[in-house]
A and B are shown apart, each in its own frame.
Chain A
Amino acid sequence: MNPPNGFDVSRRGVVLGTAATGAVSALGVSPVYAQAATPASAASVSAPVTARVSVTVNGEARALELDTRTTLLDALREHLHLTGSKKGCDHGQCGACTVIVDGRRINSCLSLAVMHEGASVTTIEGLGGPDNLHPLQAAFVKHDGYQCGYCTPGQICSAVAMLDEVKAGLPSHVSDDLLAAPELDGAELRERMSGNICRCGAYSNIAEAITEVAGRKA
């Protein structure tokens, strides 16, 4: 199949977006794409576009058909009903949406779900539940690492991945020696957790909870 511009489809990247209004080929070459290649057409897409994505969430394989605009956060909350991950600012500034993707903490609000094909996502629900708390979840309860609790899932997911970063020897802004193995003192902990804001200001208790688990791990 050759679209109007004469490019060979098989040699191009796969177009995943499919306009809700049109039929698609097996490779998902969208009519919108072909239309966009016509110089006269305006550079906008009027109808929502959907695409399929397969991800593993908390160990379970999930296949979704989503509007391409769906963030990973909205996919988790609105489509998979995993509402532990929170929407705070929705602009990567507060950290309430932090989840762990392929072992790394990210802001799920600033990431498109369709960009996570084949990824493995861990949310607060995947770390542990009421009957089998993750050590960090238990420590937050013990040290009262919250007041309203809204930032807590993000704080805990962030802390789990952060402890792995320390173990892997990643330096931080406050590390004196870039080449030395970092030690998680108070300044290091605060710097490394600065992407998680707590409006209630439970920081001292959050720091105590993380410090306890870090100590136990070391």
Chain B
Amino acid sequence: MKPFTFERAASPAEAAAAAARTPGSKFIAGGTNLLDLMKLQIETPAHLIDVNGLGLDAIDLIPEGGLRIGALVRNTDLAADERVRRDYGVLSRALLSGASGQLRNKATTAGNLLQRTRCPYFYDTAQPCNKRQPGSGCSALGGFSRQHAVMGVSDACIATHPSDMAVAMRVLDAKVETVRPDGNKRSVPIAEFHTLPGDTPQVENTLAPGELITAVTLPPPVGGTQIYRKVRDRASYAFALVSVAAIVQRDGSGRVALGGVAHKPWRVEAAEAELPNGPKAAAEKLLAGARTTPDNAYKIPLVERTLGAVLAKARG
């Protein structure tokens, strides 16, 4: 790890302002992703701003309906919240399928959204990687790419976003609330929060420098059968190869988002009209324009089958 100075921010606006005026600064929440990357010198902040004491750790009912989840709410507490378990089951399920009991106790809502890819070349500082070192090349293209993305990829990067929680947030139409260094606040639909790699895979979201996530909001409950199905190499404690978050209504209509296939949670609203016609029709629309490697082409049939299993379970 490189040396760094450390401060405890006193308020969300001051945390954002401190980040904007201090070059090389980063927020730290649970630390479970940032410290991992700092140990490997993939992240080398000169200054850490601890956001744990900002009072952003409550889950509140929004008067007009829905929930406001503080940015610092731990994954354990979010998954266990009575209202989330009852009304947003897909979110509880997605959280519980991720990481381990120890990690979920530390991991926060904002940190989870901002966790970085698990591409092995991103982690291996001896290998070229456009995300870690822009312009150095992508080792996964033509390399070992079994875990990598098949949708929205570019010639610069084929990494996936590893979060389970974010896939459930996407299917629930969550919004990300932030405060900027100038004190202005905004609310970003989750669909517009994460970005595709394009020519700048080092950019992963639409946050401005120093912008702090303060909360994630969920719209009023939509009911339905809520399912999160994660396919992975081990039954527990492994990242998704493919995952499906689904909300299926009694009449067969519904919503679906995919994890493990793109640089962001993957949802194609047009595909949802096909859900009553079965998994093949819906998967075809979801995966239109897929670009695979010999290593990850298996994800195409795997998505269709996983979606099939989810729809069958929803029918009961």
Contacts and interface: CB of A to CB of B under 8 A. Distances in A.
Interface of A: 5, 7, 11-17, 19, 30, 32-33, 36-37, 39, 41-49, 51, 67-69, 71, 90-92, 95, 98, 104-107, 110-112, 114-115, 158, 161-162, 165, 168-173, 175, 178-179, 190-196
Contacts of A178: 85-86, 89, 92-93
B96 A68 contact: no
Contacts of A192: 101
Secondary structure dominating the interface of B: mixed
Contacts of A158: 101-102
A36 B80 contact: no
Nearest to B35: A110
What secondary structure prevails in chain A residues at the interface with B?
loop
A110 B3 contact: no
A36 B22 contact: yes
B297 interface: no
Contacts, number: 170
A107 B106 contact: yes
Interface in B14-53: 14-15, 17-18, 21-25, 28, 30-32, 35-36, 39, 44, 46-50, 52
A36 B46 contact: yes
B236 A191 contact: yes
B5 interface: yes
Contacts of B22: 33, 36-37
B28 A112 contact: yes
B101 A45 contact: no
Contacts of B96: 171-173, 175
Nearest to A39: B23
Contact of A195 (B6, B28, B31, B103): B103
B298 interface: no
16 contacts: A7-B21, A11-B14, A13-B9, A13-B15, A17-B5, A36-B24, A36-B25, A91-B39, A106-B105, A107-B32, A111-B35, A169-B80, A170-B79, A179-B82, A194-B237, A195-B102
